[in-house]
Chain A
Amino acid sequence: MGGGTSSYREIEDTDLIVLWGSNARETHPIFFHHVLKGVHNGAKLFVIDPRRTSSAQWTEKWLGLHVGTDIALANAMAREILASGLENRSFIENATSGFDEFAQHVQRYTLEYAENICGVPSGLIRELAHAYARSDRAQICWTLGITEHHNAVDNVLALINLGLLTGHVGRYGSGLNPLRGQNNVQGGGDMGALPDRLPGFQHVENDELRTKFEKAWGVKIPPQRGWHLSGMFDAMERGELKALYVIGENPANSEADAHRTIKLLQGLDILVVQDMLMSKTAEMADVVFPAAAGWCETEGTVTNSERRVQRVRRALAPPAGVRDDIEVLCDLARGMGRDLGQPTSEEIWNELRSLSPVHAGMSYGRLEEMHGLQWPCYDQSHPGEQYLHGRLWARPVIGPLAPFSCVEQEPPVDTLDGEFPIRLTTGRRLDSYNTGVQTSRYASPLRHGETLDLSPEDGKKYGLEEGEIARVVSRRGSVVAPVRFDSGLRPGLAFMTLHFPDQVATNELTIDAVDPKSGTSEFKATAVRIEKAGITEPVPAAV
């Protein structure tokens, strides 16, 4: 089961917080309120991020590593913890496997070696390693700075190693927490929107589990895993995938290497899009189903970063001609010759509860009464689990041992050289969201449109003034954007967002180097060069 191991309230009670590749202050602002309560209660906060972000302003220490060097840093911390005898021996012996190989594996990741690769002073790495290992309670929280890389899963495994080495998982206040970027990205995975899982994380290649679903649904389910998102685009390229049904996603703007994405979408036999708004992808579709806004025009549930399933409710009616996703899907099924009736969201949820043991105890009545419940919640008397993996502290351990993973530092795929010497990384700003389909429509006083954020030093080096239009060129494309200076960036590092694709199509620059295990593209590491654009008129503002 994949999900954040701790609850938000625990971060208020922890002793050490590591935000790794996360600018939670801007991307998860209300979670950061809980982080600040922890800080005010005496927790030490460390931020690991190439940019000195607004989150980093609250830190004990900021570790400004080079983009894509997280594994070197994590492995060096592990080595230092071991070299200083600060590992949690009894936890390791009771609950983990592969420790000896791991201890051997990290031997070459000395502090000095990591300093050379990461650009973080060895003393700082040592300080964080000691502080993390010595804390009674400690949490590592990460976001896309860890996962939008070609070796995303390895990055995550490197952080998990640290939790296993020190026993900072499966206890109150200690944990390993991915902060989810969308209001139901956790719920999507929980419900089986993963290539290899049925609802409740039940593996599609497990015959017994698959048969349970086949019996309930009265259909045969393909017994092998499917493709993840990037795998689907590769399958389009090979001509194996010819029809695509996109629900609530805007890949034409959100996928890396936009030129390739759009070419592949155009090459499909049929593209069907179901969305709340006319996105760029919807404009390309053969058929568009206008869908109600899930969060305020329909009934249902979403799951947040602390695994809490909460109710969304209909606050107003959708416009004429716009329908609930459930109605669209059931009508489509009817058109295909299968009558699914007209189920309510609660009836569908109850079917899910009958098939997914970890959701079984979450009736609509209990979700209402308890302001949501955290999975796993096995029956109607189960309170839900505030933190995960307590089983690792049982003696003997319940279930399988937690494995250490030997992962190696690998540089980003898009390498820097004389022609492309600047590292461009991407992220979000506080007032905007993803491709801006929803957020571009309210008037934010903070918004200044898309900019190329540079260090003042690089501005000087390339002869660019703030507000001047620069051309940004990668190995795949080029865009123009006004320059903005950000003293949180060091020379050689640039930052852009995906919020204003009609103004600046940042994803024409990014690389679709994909992590084979997660299907995530390396949005965080593009090699670019920056030129004066020779344009004087301003870039048109986003609408």
Chain B
Amino acid sequence: MNVQNAPDPKIPVPRGPLPILPAQRPASMVEITMDGKSVSVPQGSTLLEAARSIGIDTPTLCFLQNLTPVNVCRLCVVEVEGSRALVPACSRQAEPGMVVQTHSERVRLSRRLVLEMLVSSVDISTAPQFQKYMRRFGARPERFGEAAPPAATDERDTAEPGHHHPPEAGAATVAQPVKIDNELYVRDYGKCILCYKCVEACGVDAQNTFAIAVAGRGFGARISTEYNTPLTDSACVYCGNCIGVCPTGALMFRREYEMRQAGTWDESRQTRTDTICPYCGVGCTLTVHVQEERIVKVTSPLDQEITQGHLCIKGRFGWEWVNQKK
């Protein structure tokens, strides 16, 4: 090798100019009226962002800041003057002059019905936010009657379109046996509200593995691997990013699931500490959940620029040795 005029490595390189970053185009502002108040938001903002900017608490289930809105839960709907249907606040952009009602009677009725239908059919025992929403909107899921008996193993997974028949008595549910087919994940689809977050995190919004998708139609719709294979035969790479975004505990880390079953999971006795993953050099922030001096779970903050809440299998699960050496 022959380096011509190579600089002397003993001499420090002088301080250079600050990096020039692409100019941020100043967004023009859009004026709308929301619940009688005038709101000004940058162009491209959603009605949800507008509502939050003036302190209006709009309920959401399928929305998450780091995922593309899919508009499926319909809980965030608001009324826009001149619009025939209610619109999802999480994805509808503010337009100049829009007049929006976020808690008109029509909005409240729609939200109440969404909650009643979800809660009558899904086990919400690990989704505390539902209790709050139900009280707020006066939802009475019990009016649909007692829950019908649960489905047998695989019964819902093999349902064909058009096969759904309402139960003879009681409310139809998605109750079914828990799926445990590997050491890291538990899938309890009796708790699934089909918010699509796991599908999005597994897909283009983060992991791009596409191990899961929504299969079936109507009440028979469910999250499925390709051809309903066990997770261990699927494309899954166990990054845990689906679990990270699941709002109801339908997807759960096996450690947490087992501790809950044993009655030892106690978030009030857990600490959460942000640190950096010990593996490769990317530098992902890990939030380490510790209970009684043992790591019980690892997550990552949604607002972290490097991870945006997402991790890989090593960061998510590679801490077992810390507990074992105790």
Chain A contacts to B: CB under 8 angstroms:
1, 8-9, 13, 27-31, 33, 36, 40, 58, 97-98, 101-102, 105, 154, 157, 171-172, 179-186, 196, 201-203, 205-206, 209, 276-277, 293-297, 302-306, 308, 310-317, 319, 322, 357, 371-372, 376, 378, 383, 385-387, 389-391, 394, 398-401, 403-408, 430-433, 437-439, 441-446
Contact = CB atoms under 8 A, between A and B. Distances in A.
Contact of B281 (A185, A319, A408): A185
A419 to B, nearest CB: 31
B22 A172 contact: yes
B4 A403 contact: yes
Given A30-B307, A442-B321, A445-B238, A306 B19 contact: no
Given A33-B207, A314-B273, A405-B1, A430 B312 contact: yes
A404 B5 CA distance: 9
Interface residues of B, number: 75
B239 A29 contact: yes
Interface stretch (B116-124, B144-152, B287-295): B287-295
B291 to A, nearest CB: 10
18 contacts: A13-B22, A30-B315, A179-B280, A182-B280, A185-B281, A203-B11, A293-B278, A294-B278, A295-B286, A302-B283, A305-B281, A315-B275, A386-B19, A391-B13, A391-B14, A439-B314, A443-B183, A445-B184
A181 B312 CA distance: 15
B237 A183 contact: no
A360 to B, nearest CB: 11
A452 B271 CA distance: 43
Given A203-B10, A442-B318, A430 B20 contact: no
B233 to A, nearest CB: 10
A399 B290 contact: no
Given A172-B22, A398-B14, A179 B3 contact: no
Interface in B200-242: 204, 206-208, 231-232, 236-239
B18 A383 contact: yes
A401 B5 contact: yes
Nearest to A203: B10
B263 interface: no
B279 A433 contact: yes
Interface in B12-29: 12-22
B169 interface: no
Given A277-B325, A296-B319, A98 B3 contact: yes
B162 interface: no
A302 B276 contact: yes
B279 A183 contact: yes
Interface string B242-280: 000000000000000000000000000001011111111
A329 to B, nearest CB: 20
B288 A296 contact: yes
Contacts of B11: 203, 206, 400
A293 B326 CA distance: 12
A196 B8 CA distance: 13
A391 B237 contact: no
A372 B283 CA distance: 10
A389 to B, nearest CB: 7
Contacts of A441: 320-321, 324
A442 B1 contact: no
Given A180-B281, A443-B183, A403 B7 contact: yes
B281 A30 contact: no
A106 to B, nearest CB: 13
A407 B6 CA distance: 14
A68 to B, nearest CB: 16
| 4 nearest A-B pairs in the assembled complex, by CB-CB distance | A180-B281, A304-B283, A391-B16, A98-B4
B306 A295 contact: no
Contacts of B313: 430-431, 444, 446
A439 B318 contact: yes
Contact of A97 (B5, B12, B280, B293): B5
B123 to A, nearest CB: 26
A401 B238 CA distance: 47
A28 B6 contact: no
A306 to B, nearest CB: 7
B311 interface: yes
B9 interface: yes
Contact of A27 (B12, B204, B280): B280
Given A28-B280, A403-B7, 14 more contacts: A33-B310, A58-B208, A98-B4, A183-B277, A306-B283, A311-B276, A313-B275, A376-B15, A401-B5, A403-B5, A406-B4, A442-B320, A444-B184, A444-B317
B2 interface: yes
A390 B20 contact: yes
Nearest to A383: B18
Given A27-B280, A401-B7, A295 B204 contact: no
A69 B315 CA distance: 34
B182 interface: yes
A98 B17 contact: no
A13 B21 CA distance: 12
B285 interface: yes
A404 B4 contact: yes
B305 interface: yes
B158 interface: no
A388 to B, nearest CB: 8
Contact of B13 (A33, A315, A400): A400
A182 B314 CA distance: 13
Contacts of B314: 430-433, 439
A384 to B, nearest CB: 9
B85 interface: no
A315 B295 contact: yes
A58 B284 CA distance: 23
B156 to A, nearest CB: 24
Contacts of B184: 443-445
A206 B10 contact: yes
A179 B281 contact: yes
B5 A98 contact: yes
Contacts of B8: 400
Contacts of A277: 321, 325
A101 B273 CA distance: 55
A295 B4 contact: no
Contacts of A203: 9-12
A408 B3 CA distance: 12
Interface centre among B238, B315, B322 (most CB of A within 10 A): B322
B9 A378 contact: no
A387 B21 CA distance: 9
Contacts of A357: 12, 15
Nearest to A293: B322
A404 B279 CA distance: 34
